[in-house]
Amino acid sequence: MTLAGGGGTARARTRIDVEVAARVIGPVWPLRSFIAVNPLDGLVEIGFDAAVAQAQRWLRARCHPDLGLLRAARHAGRITDDDLRASVLARHPSLGDDEVAAFLSELLERPVARPPAVPRTAAERCDERLGTHLAVTVDAMVATWCAAFVDEGAAAWPMPGRSEGLYRAWRRLAPHDPGLRRLAGRQARAELRHLSEHPEDAIVEALDDLGVPPESYRDELRGQLCRLPGWTGYARWREDWAPPDEPAPRFSLVDLLAVRLVHERLAVRAAGATPRAVVRAIHSQPVGQEPDDHAAVWLDAYERHYRDELLATMARPTPASSIRRPVAQLVCCIDARSEGLRRHLEATGDYETLGFAGFFGMAIRFRPLGATDVRAQCPVLVTPGVSIEERPIPGQERLAERHLARGETAAAAGSAFHAAKTGTGAAFTLAEISGWVTGAAAAARTLRPRRRVRAERRSRPRTAPTVDANADGLGFTLDEQVLYAETALVTMGLTGGFAPLVLLCGHRGRTTNNPHASALDCGACGGNPGGPNARVAAAILNRSEVRSDLRERGVDIPSRTWFVAGEHDTTTDTVEILDRHDIPPGLAGAVAAFERDLAQAARRLAAERVRVLPGGRVRRPAAHAAVRAHDWAEVRPEWGLARNAAFVVGPRAMSVGLDLGCRTFLHSYDPAVDPDGTALETILTAPMVVAQWINAQYYFSTVDPDVFGGGDKTQHNAVGGVGVLLGGGGDLRAGLPTQSVLDGDDPYHEPMRLLTVVQAPLERITAVVDRNDVLRHLFDGGWVTLAARSHPDAPWQLRCGDGTWAQWQPAVRGDDDMEVPV
Amino acid sequence: MTRQSLTPMTKVEVVVTGDDLPALREVFAAAGATGYTSVANVSGVGHHGFHQGRLAFNERDALTLVITVVPDDRAEAVLAGVQLLLADRPGVMFVSDTSVSRPEYFR
């Protein structure tokens, strides 16, 4: 129930105060659809420098690479003194030579320090004054309530009243919480029985009681949220990003803050503090954060070196392609891991490759055969509009029933095993009784991975996605199919020159016993395997009615062309052809030859990729990759998107023949078929935004794994299907696990902000950027560097912060590097 | 039906980016609005120039028009919340008097 008038106004104000306070913390997706996201996404509008200043103050985070990494990069030639000098001058153009030298000298000696911790909450201020440990005590208690509340079916006895939200469910139980009685004394029980019904009212009452003046509400709320950034991030996802039919109970920022502030208020009072005096005294102190100029120069130089190398490489003429008519075309996801597959395939024969967001323009809700859950298979920026189910093709219904029955039996056994495992007494005896069976099964899974995968494939019935609109409300109408097909083809610039075979290749990771498994799947498919989208897109593009309508719109797909769906397993580097039963028999030979070359390319990629994995210098890299995928104790099955650095938009001729080291997102684009810039706008506002999120997640997880990272996988405990804890309790850990970005203590990922490179008319790029706030914020706010050229022979231009273009000038490469210890 | 037989209320129209929709919904709920209508992918010209409305694969950064109607005694709460939201976010708000035929839907 809501109240009109003054109560409603105050509550509306509190809601906004909370929303603004939470912007310093990014949303955290649940594990089942974990996707990389910019942890500072809520602050994109204020620019990188201001955003990291906020994060330094409120999250106590390091936001730039540490000096050890930078000195090592300089030692390895990844940053030169010319880069540093150019970066100093870029930030301080008025400095003379002597001043630049003095700046550099200081720069090379001074460490990048973590900023001093300033108390952020009432409990922290009491701790500082009184030597108590109230803040960590409140953290632990609130985190325990959060974990109990969000449980997604793991607990045998769920928390009652969850449909009313965290605050009201907790309010009912709080008077009986022995922990609260220990914290606040028995007298607090009466107070707990009379807490406000509305969480907004409870927040304001607690703030007033703690002596926080209204003008400091947002700061206090922000400080409170920053004590538990993981749970705050999960609340942001639940409020802002979860689908309307999300089954998990509503978990809101307002509820989280109300519960936390009641704890804090009771704890501070019980500690005998005089909060009004403490809070007022502290709030009167100005808290400033000086921008770290040195750290910014280091980072700029680090990025400049990579940028200069990439632009110089792509400025050189690429080897003239001898392919006049490719035997086949491979369309991969823009994912940086696809660059290796494309490069190696092109080296095997007359193949053309293209890059496109791995959902292939098909924003669908997909239910796999026999599954109860439905996956949103599209970027999280889009709401999927069409539902698709996987169903057996005619004649395969009985096989499908048997397959599903086997699955149900296995699921029932798994459920019973899980129940026994989580039972208080049964867990101990279960280990004794079943250990010899489960241990052998686990060993078999690890040692015979390929055999297991082949056996699984053999037992599956033939299926197809319900592409055409049907009476069940599933599928696309013909008009929708034509529209989606045209958008996909025009956006990737594939409107002519079709080969007889076009493989639409989604991708997935394959790992065992890995809560973060979905982080290795396709980000453009919402953290899911991309195979279903490839199947749907291929089916649509093979429809004769669709092709007929496309022809009227100027996209003429020859009748001899056939689209095939596939899936690249990025952990084992294997490519599986999907829906073989759909392929015309006459193309069997061509498909077989294509598969042979794909297998060869994948083996070469596996050899290249495994070599840089710890423990990966082995004689049989492909077999080693397969073992890593199925080893239930493997903490680093693959490096994922580590070292991603650039997003390249343009024809493949820009980069063909270059080894880009699986560091670039490659999006195909043909300016000639996009005169009004619609395709370019789509590419920059969707795939590039997703790439920037990925880039920022890797960046921040590397520069401060303690604040932004997911922690050590060996200590993870999954909680309620929503996230992981380190050990038995505490805050939810957001971000990428340590093993995704670090090799031991040393970063494997090179933390640098995204470089976007576009080949298109500059005026078109400017028009697209200027009419989209999100692009202006990213390019002009220092989150992404934009380099562009109008055509292959034009010099590269860099977009400046004021929206103008300046011709790219690489840092002068000299041999006068200073002698400074590294 | 005559205008005299209708019930006067306040109509609030807000244009925000998709990113701010959840916060706007929170404000409406806290202020006692019983519902709203949203029109996705609106575009137009403002003091910052042309704003793109429709993006093929990004609803979060496209503009949405959200319309709610509330009894006059709840209007202040809605206006206060929206004004706070728009204090440092892009968007505009229009407020006008309106009349409704089924007042019970809005209370």
DSSP A517: G
Tokens 């009167």 identify what position? Answer: A284
Check residue A816 and give its pLDDT.
46
Q: Show the DSSP H helices in B4-54 as ranges.
A: 21-31
Separation between Cα atoms, residue A744 and residue A53, nearest integer Å:
28
Rounded mean pLDDT of A264-268? 93
The alpha carbon of residue A420 and the mean position of all alpha carbons in its chain are separated, in whole angstroms, by 35
pLDDT over 70 (residue A6): no
Rounded mean pLDDT of A65-86? 93
Show the tokens assigned to A305.
Answer: 């070196």
Contacts of B23 in chain A (CB under 8 A): 15-16, 19
Check residue A286 and give its pLDDT.
45
Show the tokens assigned to A266.
Answer: 């009771």
Q: Are A4 and B71 an interchain contact pair (Cβ–Cβ within 8 Å)?
A: yes
As a whole number, the mean pLDDT across chain A is 89
Q: Which residue of B26, B52, B84 is in closest CB contact with A772?
A: B52
Length reported for chain B: 107
Tokens 């997706």 identify what position? Answer: A29
User: Edge to edge, what strands does the sheet with A328-333 contain?
Assistant: A351-356, A328-333, A501-508, A562-569, A574-578
Average the pLDDT over each of A116-125, A159-168, A599-608, A676-685 and give the range with the smallest value: A116-125
pLDDT band for A518, please (50, 70, 90 cuts).
confident
SS3 state at A87: helix
Amino acid residing at A230: G
Q: Are B17 and A773 an interchain contact pair (Cβ–Cβ within 8 Å)?
A: yes
Contacts of B85 in chain A (CB under 8 A): 16, 19
DSSP A186: T
Portion of chain A with pLDDT greater than 70, in percent? 87
Rounded mean pLDDT of A587-611? 96
User: Edge to edge, what strands does the sheet with B92-100 contain?
Assistant: B37-42, B63-70, B7-17, B92-100
Instruction: Please name the residue of chain B whose CA is at the shortest distance from the CA of residue A198.
Output: B30
Q: Over the range A47-58, which residues count as b (16 or more CB within 10 Å of their CB) and which as e?
A: bbeebbbbbbbb
Residues with Cβ within 8 Å of A226's Cβ and at least 6 positions away in sequence, in order, are: A24, A25, A58, A59, A120, A232
Count Cα neighbours of A132 within 13 Å in the Cβ-side half-sphere.
21
In 3D space, the residue among A726, A742, A746, A745 whose CA is nearest the CA of residue A734 turns out to be A726
pLDDT over 80 (residue B56): yes
pLDDT over 70 (residue A283): no
Q: Does B39 touch chain A (CB under 8 A)?
A: no
Rounded mean pLDDT of A531-544? 98
Q: What is the ipTM of this complex?
A: 0.85
Separation between Cα atoms, residue A82 and residue A807, nearest integer Å:
18
Burial class (CB in 10 A: 0-12, 13-18, 19+), A699: buried
Q: Show the DSSP H helices in B11-71 as ranges.
A: 21-31
Q: Are strands A328-333 and A501-508 parallel, antiparallel or unpaired?
A: parallel
Residues with Cβ within 8 Å of A404's Cβ and at least 6 positions away in sequence, in order, are: A369, A370
Mutate to test the interface with A, among B12, B26, B76, B89 (most CBs of A within 10 A): B26
Amino acid residing at A771: R
Check residue A450 and give its pLDDT.
63
Contacts of A676 in chain B (CB under 8 A): none
Show the tokens assigned to A545.
Answer: 């009615």
Rounded mean pLDDT of A316-340? 85
Give the number of other CB atoms < 10 A from CB of residue A206: 25
Q: How many inter-chain contacts (A to B, CB under 8 Å) are there?
A: 111
Residues with Cβ within 8 Å of A322's Cβ and at least 6 positions away in sequence, in order, are: none
Distance from CA of B25 to the nearest CA of A (A): 10
SS3 state at A356: strand
pLDDT band for A1, please (50, 70, 90 cuts).
very low
pLDDT over 80 (residue B90): yes
Q: Does B74 touch chain A (CB under 8 A)?
A: yes
Separation between Cα atoms, residue A511 and residue A713, nearest integer Å:
13
